[in-house]
Structure 1
Amino acid sequence: MDTTALASAAAGANTSQLQLAVAAKMMKTNADQEKNIAELVQAAADNGQRLANVAAGIGRALDISV
């Protein structure tokens, strides 16, 4: 192999390593987002369970005007 081909191969390897690092970071970010969404859905379900025992019509005639 000549020097140019060796340098080109090294540069390609560095680029591939950077691309893998970016892909890993994106996958971690997506996993974190999915975890946060799951926690949000669970919190909404928990709040819904607390409101399940409220009598029908509660909050319908609430006046929030200032």
Structure 2
Amino acid sequence: MDMMSMVSGMLAAQAGNVQMQVAATIMKSDANAEKSAVLTLLGAGLQSASSLANVGAGIGGNLDVTA
């Protein structure tokens, strides 16, 4: 194996490693964004549930979520 082939192989391996690090960073960022969205939705659900505590009986009982 000549020197240029070895250098080329090492550079390709380093480029692959950088790509894997970038992909891992993006996936972690995406997971954090998803976590934040879920926590926001759960918080909004808790707030709306407590705000319905003062309404009359039967209000909010039948909710059509198919649309």
TM-score, normalised with respect to structure 2: 0.79
Are positions 1:42 and 2:42 aligned together?
yes
Specify the alignment match of 2:32 in structure 1.
32
Question: Aligned AA for 2:5?
Answer: A
- C-alpha distance in 2 between matches for 1:14 and 1:34: 30
d(CA) in 1 for partners of 2:6, 2:53: 72
Q: Deviations over 1:11-66 (max 9, x none)?
A: 0000000000000000000100000000000000000011112347xxxxxxxxxx
Q: Structure 2 counterpart of 1:52, which letter?
A: L
Q: Distance in 2 between matches of 1:9 and 1:53?
A: 67
1:10 matched residue in structure 2: 10
Residue 49 of structure 1 aligns to a residue whose secondary structure is helix
The number of equivalent residue pairs is 56
Structure 2: state its 5+ residue gaps.
57-67
Report the Cα distance in structure 1 between the residues aligned to 2:22 and 2:55, rounded to whole angstroms: 52
**How far 1:4 moved relative to its partner?**
0.3
> 1:52 and 2:40 equivalent?
no
Q: 1:53 & 1:22 partners in 2: Cα distance?
A: 47
Does the residue aligned with 2:15 lie in a helix, a strand or coil? helix
- The percent identity for this pair of structures is 25
Secondary structure at 2:53's aligned position in 1? Answer: coil
